[in-house]
Amino acid sequence: MSKVSVSAMASLTIALQTVHTVYRDRVLTVGMVHLVNVTGVAATVQLHYVPLAGAAAAANAALYDYTIPANDFIEFGEGQLLASGCAVQATCSADNAVNLILCGFEE
């Protein structure tokens, strides 16, 4: 099976949203997760790797109530493997305060 590049972006809101779902019969290798606070005040984020038929919870959080200072960012996740059907879901304490960029490849 060939590699397929994955790139997803979302402007996070207070409502939990799915940024990407790993395609059936594939595994996602995360190249990078980049979260940038585009406001002048701190924002708190949650980012979850939710297994198929699961729900976002503290147990599957990559970041849980993590505060990103004003006009700052965090980058992490290189090499993380996500199984088929796994969803990357995220939320933020203020609508459109944080942009999320996910890059990687599926095979």
Model confidence pLDDT, tens digit, residues 32-70? 999 999 999 999 999 999 999 999 999 999 999 999 999
* pTM, to two decimals: 0.95
Structural domain containing residue 19? 4-106
Q: Tell me the CA end-to-end span of the chain in Å, nearest whole number.
A: 6
Residue 42 sits in a domain whose CATH number is 2.60.120.340
Enter the DSSP assignment of 47.
E
Q: Say if residue 1's pLDDT is above 90.
A: no
Q: What pLDDT, on a 0 to 100 scale, did the predictor assign at position 78?
A: 94
The enclosing H or E element of 89 equals: strand 87-92
> What total number of domains does the chain contain?
1
